[in-house]
């Protein structure tokens, strides 16, 4: 009872600590751990991405995970699902409304404006990766904390920029080995086109108002374009005969869209036009696209993006055209795991030892190897040689270094090549004298 009294003095939210220390604490709903078994997939994809961005002249940018709530409500739009329903928003101890980023384009744009990247002139090509947060119902490929990889090109109105970012996304997905990909493409026009279309769409839908699903009824005044991609059956029937966005594009918007399509065709990238593709975020103009995989279930979209020429100005920066995309890393991993075994972690040496003197020498040898740039895994178990050898075989190492009492006494070591089983004794003192020769031996043994 005493404890209960003590606990009731705690601020709300901390009161159940007693409970939590009694049972084990679990990760929150919609979050998950990425464990060592799985991490090789992530690192492999990240390395591929890093390489392809490097080849394309994109620089990495890292922005904060939490931002002023206004950045998202102003940038993404109050009427979107992301802002209206899905944000992790809280007041910090200084009463600032703070939000865990639900996406990263707004953050990148804020950084671009705040740090004067615009004044550097020219085109800024940026990429990022990291966790995003949305309060959604978790299911396969949908989490509350998830990771995105994204690319943004700021400062170019050239349709080749649209084609370039799309090509990078496509090549990356193909480079990872994914097949069965399709891409939907649309143009949502500029602000004026959209305003005209919005009016026509609302005029068409209003007589059907009572037949629309509840979400769409709500969107009719707030965000009518989103009704186009409602999943509700009756709403879809109604929408079939709705006015077409393409008929409301100005001739400039149409010409721009044609140039984007031509550039994609020139690059050999296939797509299907989908006039109902509008995307969830308000800031898109002109090009909108989504890449889906038929190997995923309900959450089939791996990558989505488009042009957002109005966003930078809307957030207080100079009028700057921009285009980009974001990819869902968890969905990529689901596909990748179907496709291949976890990429093996490469290791050069596995060091086993037994006996006090030998163990001390083994530690020194392992660390010297690492200092010379070799991978060295030191067995710390102290178990019998037999068990250590088994672990050496499973480690993925090319060679095993063995130190027992007699090696310790002679200041030597046994070097065993794990593939061939050949073993040789070497003096410890000269083992690391010819680094290049040792490196070559490792490479030869690995590719043998
Ligand atoms: P969806 O229609 O699946 O909700 P979205 O339109 O909300 O997607 P975007 O904001 O375009 O998604 O984000 C780009 C990509 O990020 C998505 O295509 C998807 O791969 C991934 N993604 C979005 N939300 C989640 C989530 N909650 N969990 C995992 N991945 C997500
Ligand atoms: Mg969503």
Cβ burial 223-236 (10 Å sphere, 16+ → b, else e): bbbbbbbbebeebe
Per-residue confidence at 1, pLDDT binned at 50, 70, 90? very low
Spell out the domain ranges in the chain.
36-190+250-339, 349-447
Residue in 431, 361, 364 with CA at minimum distance from that of residue 403: 361
Q: Which stretches does DSSP call E strand in 225-366?
A: 272-273, 285-293, 301-307, 322-328, 347-353
pLDDT at 295: 86
Name the residue of 301, 327, 329 whose CB sits within 8 Å of the most ligand 1 atoms, as the mutation to test its pocket. Answer: 301
The response to whether residue 328 sits with its C-beta less than 6 Å from ligand 1 reads yes
Cα–Cα distance for residue pair 198/178, rounded to 1 Å: 37
CB atoms within 10 A of CB 119: 7
Confidence tier at 7 by pLDDT (50, 70, 90): very low
Cβ–ligand 1 distance for 169 under 6 Å, the answer no
Contact 290, 132 (CB under 8 A): no
- Whether 376 and 366 have beta carbons less than 8 Å apart is answered as yes
* C-alpha count within 13 angstroms, C-beta hemisphere, residue 187: 23
Give first-to-last CA distance, the chain, whole Å.
Answer: 70
In the 8-state DSSP scheme, what is residue 381?
A: S
Asked if 36-190+250-339 and 349-447 have one fold, the answer is no
326 CB near ligand 1 (under 6 Å): yes
Q: Looking at ligand 1, which atom is closest to the CA of residue 141?
A: 29
pLDDT at 282 (0 to 100): 67
CB 396 near ligand 1, within 6 Å: no
- Residues 102-130 have a mean pLDDT of 94
Selected residue with higher pLDDT from 17 and 442: 442
The model's confidence at residue 296, banded by pLDDT at 50, 70 and 90, is confident
Q: 283 pLDDT exceeds 80? A: no
Do residues 22 and 3 lie in contact, with contact meaning Cβ atoms separated by under 8 Å? no
Specify the ligand 1 atom closest to the Cα of 82: 7
Domain 349-447: give its CATH code. Answer: 3.40.50.800
Check pocket membership of 56 for ligand 1, CB cut-off 6 A.
Answer: no
- What is the number of the ligand 1 atom nearest to the C-alpha of 134? 27
Question: CATH number of 36-190+250-339: 3.30.930.10, 3.40.640.10, 3.30.43.10, 3.90.380.10?
Answer: 3.30.930.10
> Does the pLDDT of residue 81 top 90, yes or no?
no
User: Which atom of ligand 1 is nearest to 325's Cα?
Assistant: 14
Distances (CA, A) of 74 to 61, 79, 235: 22, 10, 29
Distance 419 CA to ligand 2 centre (A): 49
On average, the pLDDT of the chain sits at: 92
* pLDDT for res 179: 87
pLDDT of residue 4: 41
């Amino acid at each position: 009872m005493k404890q209960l009294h003590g606990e009731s003095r705690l601020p709300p939210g901390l009161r159940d600590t007693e409970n939590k220390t009694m049972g084990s604490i679990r990760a929150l709903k919609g979050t998950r751990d990425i464990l060592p078994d799985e991490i090789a997939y992530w690192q492999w994809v990240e390395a591929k991405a890093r390489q392809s961005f490097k080849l394309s002249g994109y620089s990495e940018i890292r922005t904060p995970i939490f931002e002023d709530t206004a950045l998202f409500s102003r940038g993404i739009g109050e009427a979107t699902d992301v802002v209206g329903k899905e944000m992790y928003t809280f007041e910090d101890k200084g009463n600032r409304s703070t939000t865990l980023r639900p996406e990263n384009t707004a953050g990148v744009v804020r950084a671009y404006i705040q740090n004067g990247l615009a004044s550097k002139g020219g085109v800024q090509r940026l990429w990022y990766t990291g966790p995003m947060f949305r309060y959604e119902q978790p299911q396969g490929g949908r989490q509350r904390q998830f990771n995105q990889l994204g690319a943004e090109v700021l400062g170019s109105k050239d349709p080749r920029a649209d084609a370039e970012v799309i090509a990078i996304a496509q090549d990356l997905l193909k480079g990872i080995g994914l097949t069965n990909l399709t891409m939907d493409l649309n143009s949502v026009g500029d602000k004026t086109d959209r305003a005209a279309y919005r009016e026509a769409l609302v005029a068409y839908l209003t007589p059907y108002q009572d037949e629309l699903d509840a979400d769409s009824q709500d969107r009719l005044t707030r965000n009518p374009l989103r009704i186009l991609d409602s999943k509700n059956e009756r709403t879809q029937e109604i929408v079939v005969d709705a006015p077409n966005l393409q008929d409301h594009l100005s001739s400039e918007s149409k010409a721009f869209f044609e140039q984007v399509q031509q550039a994609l065709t020139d690059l050999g990238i296939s797509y299907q036009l989908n006039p109902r593709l509008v995307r969830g975020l308000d800031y898109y103009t002109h090009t909108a696209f989504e890449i889906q995989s038929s190997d995923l279930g309900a959450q089939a979209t791996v990558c989505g993006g488009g042009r957002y020429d109005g966003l930078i100005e809307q957030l207080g920066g100079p009028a700057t055209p921009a285009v980009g995309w974001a990819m869902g890393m968890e969905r990529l991993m689901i596909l990748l795991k179907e496709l291949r075994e976890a990429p093996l972690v490469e290791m050069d040496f596995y060091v086993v030892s037994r006996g006090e003197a030998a163990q001390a020498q083994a530690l020194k040898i392992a660390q010297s190897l690492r200092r010379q740039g070799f991978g060295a895994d030191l067995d710390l178990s102290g178990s019998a040689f037999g068990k250590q050898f088994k672990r050496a075989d499973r480690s993925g190492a090319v060679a095993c270094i063995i130190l027992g009492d007699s090696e310790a006494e002679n200041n030597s070591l046994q070097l065993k090549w794990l593939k061939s089983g050949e073993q040789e004794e070497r003096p410890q003192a000269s083992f690391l004298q010819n680094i290049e020769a040792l490196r070559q031996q490792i490479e030869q043994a690995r590719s043998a």
